[in-house]
Structure 1
Amino acid sequence: MAENATTLHALIQTGADAATALSSPGGVPLTFGGLRALTDRTIAALNAQGIGRGDRVGIVLDNGPEMAAAFIAIAAGATSAPLNPSYKADEFNFYLSDLNAKLLVVAEGSETPAVAVAEKLGVPVVRLRPTPEEGAGSFTLTFANDAAAPAAKGGPAEPDDIALVLHTSGTTSRPKIVPLKQSNVCASARNIRETLAFTAEDRGLNIMPLFHIHGLIAGILAPLSAGGQVSCTPGFNALKFFGWMGEVRPTWYTAVPTMHQAILARAGRNKEIIDANPLRFIRSSSSSMPPQVMKEIEDVFGAPLIEAYGMTEASHQMASNPLPPRPHYAGSVGLAAGPEIAIVDDEGEPLPAGEIGEIVIRGDNVMAGYENNDKANAEAFTKQGWFRTGDQGSLTPEGYLSLTGRLKEIINRGGEKISPREVDEILMDHPAVSQCVTFAMPHDKLGEDVAAAIVLREGQTLVEKELRGFAQERLAAFKVPAKILILDEIPKGATGKLQRIGLAQKLGLV
């Protein structure tokens, strides 16, 4: 049973055969029996193509039940590598190469640039055909040709096998590969299940993207591990949310603060639906929730808003506010919810309650280390085995954690983490650009947005609109700078370095 499952194959054994595992608004439900059979068929099909445990399978699918089912079925026997479908060819080229993908899964009829990139890289492409009449998320895979030999390591994955690989944005370097073991993701699913007291009676409405750790673990795996069901939408849409709520009748949902705010903006005209479908709780993670918004959501929905704290390296959840009757506080991300949490000083020594320092964690949901990156691992782990989150905060005597900011310079745009260096490198590709520094500028709804300051090569002319157009061709929309300043000189720090932190203020963007 999945009570303490250490593999995804074991995790999906919990639900009763005839109970619904996955559904979609307007669709036929897929039972747990159906999900288990689909998973076994997928593992066998991959194995016959030479793809087995530890082999990386890139997945480029739109949000919805097929993406949820494909992630589970592939990760149960190989290594899932979900990629943002909105990436441009350059980004797919980087990620598929960096991952050393052995296969790419795309939807039948999909026009994604990932296909041409995969063909150029010699990565076989398999087409996924949805069979919704057999249940939400059901699919068949069509392989282009027969493999020369079956997989060396076939069958369901084992606890130490890598289930999922995702990239995290580094501030001063290329994005790093985060390999998460079967046991890591199952531990995180268990931690979330226990925190939120999931049962087979729970129905989640998933609006989170499924190339993101938050959606995959909290949105999908945690409720399924309790035998509960998840209704998978095509992605967040504030205009459709209340229609889905009326149809699906969820007991809960999880989202990032910007989504909650968009839902709140439409709540007034949907009071009847809210009253007819009482939620057990609402969960928020991936970015800090303004206390004013938390109070308003709780007033409107009559349900507790449970704020949690997660990151990719911890297979998502690290801390969470508890359910009532225990208190939850605005401005706090709650109590340790799975891994141990401590606050340390610059030397890595533990600090007492109330003192501000770096947040460190350790536990069975935390990755063993970044892939092929000794330097990053030496910096990320202390001698005592704690993982440095790069976030700053403090703990109350009761163990409630508050975040005070990030130590690094990652831009957090409404929960989407963006590496300034990655944007720099794209802008620097423009022949007129001589110098570039990308940084965060404050944004009233997203928290932060992307800005860049550039210096042109001598004798060159360029307008902001033209450079933004250049970036749009090469970067996903959320990474494109909202503001580009063309300067004669970029302000530098005392040592002559370009400094991202505080740049928005220096340049009058605050």
Structure 2
Amino acid sequence: MSDERTIFELLQIGREDAAAIGAPGRAPLPYKALRELAARVIVKLNDLGIGRGDRVAIVLPNGPEMASAFVTVASAATTAPLNPDYKAEEFEFYLNDLQAKALLVEAGSHSPAIDIAQKLGIAVIELTVPKGAPAGYFELTGSTIGETASPGPAEPGDVALILHTSGTTSRPKIVPLSHRNVTASAQNIVHSLTLTQADKCLNIMPLFHIHGLIAAVLSSLRAGANVTCTPGFNALKIFGWIGEEKPSWYSAVPTMHQAVLSRGARNKEIIENANLRFIRSSSASLPPQVMTSLEEMWNCPVIEAYGMTEASHQMAANPLPPSKRVPGSVGIASGPEIAIMSAEGKILKSNETGEIVIRGENVTAGYENNPKANAEAFTEGWFRTGDQGIMTSEGYLTITGRLKEIINRGGEKISPREVDEVLMNHPAVDQVVTFALPHEKLGEDVAAAIVLKDGHNATEAELRDFAAISLAAFKVPRSILLLDEIPKGATGKLQRIGLAEKLGLVT
């Protein structure tokens, strides 16, 4: 068990002169400087009237300063990173909902969040990067808003990070994560990936999302390793970054992995000279075909992991070789306990299908101001993930679908993932998302949105016939849409819920 119960304590681990936070084309910030920065940020925020438990919304572009702002501001207060691409209305909702005490933005920023903060009477703090400063170094300026109620470094039970659930079907829920939660999760990831001070992560994930914040940034700092922060995912630039920065790993969502794969043939020299120890995939299911192609391309294992905001990210992960990996499975419990539960709340046996439930130090204590959601989410101390799955006697977990995404076609239950995996085997198919299409008699029918590979052709009828070889008739998509691109969420995830509406299929 780790002794580092707060982010500030976790920052003390790395060797003083070792690189902590980096960025392409910039000098890295050593651990000694990061620790000094965190200590200064605590004092500065306290001077401005912000301390433990006060909420600071962070609206910064992806990059090293977003990473260092997260860990240093969390050392003093509660961070609430927000997507910089939100519109004014969205900022108003989130800043109100969070009851933010301050908003942190880049000096010179034109974010609509600033006008909204001023309208709501929320203090604005500006972050400046001095010319020539190492990656992640910054200075803060702002007006004092009064005495700090709780100064000094945050404590283990304090809330380090607040995020909202994606809210595809309902109002987003507030998920508070304590220092104890997030440091436990970082330690779980270090353990499952055997991260050491010699590792270097290339972060391409957005840093307003749990995946990038914990899996890339906090786990690297927990290992005393380096995290090099890019401006965000860019399929045209990632090979250049890998060539220049020589990372030992990166973590991404499946759509990013597919985009990288599609450009592999043009970057053979970089691929040959890359020194990746592994690649990690999380936040959505990785088609087995994509995993195989990635491993062949990079000549390293692809580790599929399973995470969610309420668990401070990671819950399960496939182990690294020589331990057994199971393609299509999200691996074994990695930190929290995992079980499969029936709808009635009974723990099921191996190979029985039910809801995946978890409990452990990385799991949130509950949603904020939402007793109804908490009553539905917790049973006998177990958190109900909303995912349906099955666990083998060896402890390998396979997700069979999101309970809300299971298609109910006239009483027949269909897992969209099963249909996805069959259609992905067609040689012309690059991406597929199977989803529910409202039907007046059946309630729901099966539909699929498909992107074809460059230079390949296939008709709807041909794809339906192909699916029918492997699937029972009721599982074959009644409607197949051939698209240039499938709409994605802010983090690059393909979203099944609401896709029929997004594609204009529901009147």
Q: Same fold (TM over 0.5)?
A: yes
Residue correspondence of structure 1 range 119-130 to structure 2 within 5 A: 119-130=118-129
Judging changes above 3 Å, is the alpha-carbon distance between structure 1 residues 439 and 249 closer, same or farther for their aligned structure 2 residues?
Answer: farther
2:183 aligned partner, one-letter code: C
Partner-residue secondary structure (3-state), 2:328: coil
In the alignment, which residue of structure 1 is the partner of 2:337? 340
Deviation sequence 1:52-72 (CA, Å, 0-9, x none): 001000000110000000001
Residues 1:319 and 2:339 aligned together: no
Residue correspondence of structure 1 range 27-426 to structure 2 within 5 A: 27-131=26-130, 133-143=132-142, 145-149=143-147, 151-170=148-167, 172-382=169-379, 384-409=380-405
TM-score by length of 1: 0.81
Residues 1:443 and 2:449 aligned together: yes
Shift of 1:442: 3.8
Residues 1:22 and 2:36 aligned together: no
2:280 aligned partner, one-letter code: R
Unaligned runs of 5+ in 1: 415-419, 421-436, 447-471, 488-510
Contact 2:205 2:491 in 1 (8 A): no
Shift of 1:169: 3.1
Contact 2:76 2:154 in 1 (8 A): yes
1:376 aligned partner, one-letter code: A
Shift of 1:172: 5.0
Judging changes above 3 Å, is the alpha-carbon distance between structure 1 residues 362 and 278 closer, same or farther for their aligned structure 2 residues?
Answer: same
2:125 aligned partner, one-letter code: V
Deviation sequence 1:156-206 (CA, Å, 0-9, x none): 100000000000134553110000000000000000000000000001100
Judging changes above 3 Å, is the alpha-carbon distance between structure 1 residues 113 and 477 closer, same or farther for their aligned structure 2 residues?
Answer: farther
1:103 aligned partner, one-letter code: A
Shift of 1:147: 3.0
**Structural RMSD (CA):** 2.6
Measure, in 1, the Cα distance between the counterparts of 2:274 and 2:258. Answer: 19
In the alignment, which residue of structure 2 is the partner of 1:497? none
Contact 1:28 1:132 in 2 (8 A): no
Unaligned runs of 5+ in 2: 408-415, 421-434, 436-442, 453-486
In the alignment, which residue of structure 2 is the partner of 1:8? 7
Shift of 1:346: 1.0
Judging changes above 3 Å, is the alpha-carbon distance between structure 1 residues 486 and 19 closer, same or farther for their aligned structure 2 residues?
Answer: closer
Partner-residue secondary structure (3-state), 1:81: strand
Shift of 1:258: 0.5
Contact 2:201 2:216 in 1 (8 A): yes
TM-score by length of 2: 0.82
Measure, in 1, the Cα distance between the counterparts of 2:5 and 2:505. Answer: 50
Partner-residue secondary structure (3-state), 1:194: helix
Partner-residue secondary structure (3-state), 1:9: helix
Shift of 1:375: 0.7
Measure, in 2, the Cα distance between the counterparts of 1:388 and 1:232. Answer: 33
Measure, in 2, the Cα distance between the counterparts of 1:246 and 1:261. Answer: 19
Measure, in 2, the Cα distance between the counterparts of 1:108 and 1:359. Answer: 44
* Paired-residue identity, %: 59
Contact 1:213 1:315 in 2 (8 A): yes
Number of aligned residues: 435
Measure, in 2, the Cα distance between the counterparts of 1:440 and 1:179. Answer: 36
Measure, in 2, the Cα distance between the counterparts of 1:197 and 1:283. Answer: 13
Divergent runs of 4+, >6 A:
410-414, 437-441, 475-480
Judging changes above 3 Å, is the alpha-carbon distance between structure 1 residues 41 and 365 closer, same or farther for their aligned structure 2 residues?
Answer: same
Deviation sequence 1:261-320 (CA, Å, 0-9, x none): 111111112121122122110000000000000000001111000000000000000000
